[in-house]
Structure 1
Amino acid sequence: MNIITNPDKSSLQSLTKRVLLNNEGLTEKVQSVLSKVKIKGDTAIKEYTKQFDGVVLDGLLVSNEELIEAENLVENCLKEAIKLAQSNILKFHTSQISEESIVETTEGVNCWRKSVPVEKVGLYIPGGSAPLFSTILMLGVPAKLAGCEEIILCTPPNKEGKVNPVILYTASLVGVTKIFKIGGAQAIAAMAFGTETIPNVYKILGPGNQFVTKAKELVQQKGVAIDMPAGPSEVLVIADETANPEYVAADLLSQAEHGPDSQALLVTINENLAKDVVEEVQKQLNQLPRKEIAEKAIANSFVLVLENEEECLEFSNKYAPEHLIIASDSPEKFIGGIVNAGSVFLGNYSCESAGDYASGTNHTLPTNGFARNYSGVSLDSFVKKITFQKVTKTGIKNIGNAIELMASAEGLEAHKNAITVRLKDIENV
């Protein structure tokens, strides 16, 4: 892990660039999958499942028997841990419910908004070497709280055609409507277009590899909403002299083990801390079961030593990290300067893992610099805001003339006339 000390200011912007995977031909490959699923439906899904997951499936829908079996396979201590996380996530997202008030903008003109749940949502949950059952909590809990009528979930099967039992248990716990054994771009296609077995949805949420991400991007162009643009996961740690090098190294590696294209950055003004953290990273790295993955991510990461804390914050805001950790005994001094970040962890005990699992905040967050203009998943991700207005006779009299003048100035006489006919009727009464 390289240490970069006080680089030239002109080079800082280049340090915010993420790792780029070789994605030559990615769009064409994914578009081919989407088109085939749209045309051939379940047949295409089964063909791709055989090709990519190495298993031939009789059926795509997870049965009730499989759900019961899965619940019996999950240890009680893990069930309790999941329920604790569910409770905290529910509390935090319940706090996001707000009552919209009616606003009288002018006498006789009342305007307001109403939150309405997205009726059908699809959740994508990666399987593979890291089955992300925690993401089911992050997506399923607010979806249920919002009142979504249909919540379907797609996740890839293993070589035996089974789904990880913890994924099935958690999905049942949060109230997922149907679970399908489908992974990759083909799962996104199925949820976007629908097949004989899988219903189409109005919005797709959840993380995935570059094929899943590209598929979400492409179906969005077809009118299916997605949660946000996405890229590899990332963390940036701002640490001062009160930070614990062991803690910081652990936080960097907890991000690095997500994938070889993940990025974990440390920004500090303390050169000794920087050196200590780099040593500790190597020490802890050797103990990790996912060492090979984390090692590749660390090779694409770095430590940045700058002159003062203002410069540290400035760089962080340019980078716009998915996760921002303030490793300090006085983290509050940084809060006012943070403008671009997905989720912020304040203090030496606020590790990213807390937010990933059980503190209550959502871990589905903008990556790849999109924290500059996107928020993480919240209750609002599962609702639409519909505006209402009610205009009375008094109201139309108060704003009618202004509307007529504005419509006429835009050359839209029919718009003007919609006001004029009403005002004439009022005047003739």
Structure 2
Amino acid sequence: MLSSLFMSLVGRETLVAPDDTWSLLMVMCVAVAISIYLEQKYMWASKISGAIIALLFALVLSNLSIIPTACTLYDDIIWGFAVPMGIPLLMLQCNMKKIWKETGRIMIIFCIGSAGTVAGAFLAYALLHNFIPGLAGVAAIMTGSYIGGGVNFAALATEFNVGEIKAAATVADNLLMALYFFALIFIAGMKFFQKHYAHPHIDAVKVSDLKDAQTQAAAYWNRKEISLKDIAMNVAYCVVVVFLAKLIASGISAVIPTTNTLLSILNTFFGSQYVWITTIAMFAATVGEKQVENLSGSQEIGTYFIYLFLFVIGVPASIVKIITETPLLLVFTGIMVLTNMLFCFVFGKLLHFDLEDIILASNANIGGPTTAAGMAISQGWTKLVGPVMLIGTFGYVIGTYLGVVVGGLLGA
């Protein structure tokens, strides 16, 4: 009975068609608006965070077949415009002269987490390779994805042809990423972890002035003066940054050949628009700190773009598809994520890392630079946005290489 119910749900068309862009945009914007309202209105919602609420909205709506799991709005508009434009706006607070000494160590814990991902791939393969066909290739693909991101997933999926299981692996990847995002948010607020790890950024948010606000989120996002000129300058700035980043990335990518592994790595890194968006934005924030201080609204506009992105992140996670098709893939990816988490938290404790560094480094491994930046923003850890974007982008470089190594060692 339960199986037939699942199959009927899988076969259903969505209530909102994939090409009905305005209806989908309405659903997404309303869900994000409700998430932000709840976060700033109620203490329980503030503790969960508006980011998690937006993700939950997307999970529920997609798994009830109300909205599609893929469409032009998600891929071309949110991924193509909102995310690249949001990043430079948010990074205007990232003056590297002020924050580098405080956050430079985060690269170390990121590399430890990457080692955890590789170890998790071998462990999960050893436990499950007799039950899932083509698992060596999947292990390679997921290694790249859980060190870098979607770029590495796509590259390794081309390198290791795993057939139909690729679609199920994509769903498991998105679902685990969303669930782990929830888990990390809860860990940040748990007394156990705050007792055993230093947490200066969490403390800084807690001492915010709450006299006229109902929640920390409302205090952090209190009403600010903003003019039409501010909006115009913000939009112009982020568009110019993205334009220059894409121009530089495409130019360098065309110059650097991919004839060997080293050159391929250099091409991947310097040919990434996100490397140059991050670099240009951090340079502007550091050199033009006086101009940044006189510009209002950049954090608000950038954060709104990231909330739209976080909604889209939760959409492809089809729980029904995992249950009906390849539930063991969820177990496989779960082992990899858990091993990454253990490496980050155990070694983070031994090496005296801050809780926020550990959480964001692990997030950057599993979800990539944009999800890690989104978490930092949603929690008010603004000083960590720039560094976590850099280490997440570095994951794009090493993810494909380590994925190829894992696939080769497992005989994919």
TM-score of the pair, normalised by structure 1: 0.24
Instruction: Point out the structure with the larger helix share.
Output: 2
Ranked by relative contact order (alpha carbons within 8 Å, sequence separation 6 or more), the top structure is 2
TM-score of the pair, normalised by structure 2: 0.24
Please say which structure displays the higher CA radius of gyration. Answer: 1
Instruction: Point out the structure with the larger strand share.
Output: 1
